[in-house]
Amino acid sequence: MANTPQAKKRIRRNERRAEINGNRVGRIRTFIKKVEAALAAGDKATATTALAAAQPELARGVAKGVLHKNTASRKFSRLTKRLASLG
């Protein structure tokens, strides 16, 4: 258990940051799912617009520190490759 005021404050801050970061990751997942749903349906136009919306969200996740740079790059690369394979 935290004894010092600083440690108690750190616990409060960590809880708040965890909530915010969880919301950020959830938002990114939602954008990625929209792209994947459009890819699964074979709708190239919708998938293109969804991917264009997901890319800045991935970049924002990297900037905020909730995603590793390579993870975001890998996700975007794989989605782009799947979009290109639609024909």
pLDDT band at 2 (very low <50, low <70, confident <90, very high): confident
5-84 topology per CATH: Methane Monooxygenase Hydroxylase; Chain G, domain 1 (1.20.58)
pLDDT tens digits, residue range 28-46? Answer: 999 999 999 999 999 999 9
In terms of phi and psi (left: phi > 0; alpha: psi -120 to 50; beta: otherwise), the region of 4 is beta
Please give, one letter per residue, the 3-state secondary structure of the chain. CCCCHHHHHHHHHHHHHHHHHHHHHHHHHHHHHHHHHHHHHCCHHHHHHHHHHHHHHHHHHHHHCCCCHHHHHHHHHHHHHHHHCCC
Question: Would you tell me how many other CB atoms lie within 10 Å of the CB of residue 71?
Answer: 13
Q: What pTM, to 2 d.p., does this model score?
A: 0.87
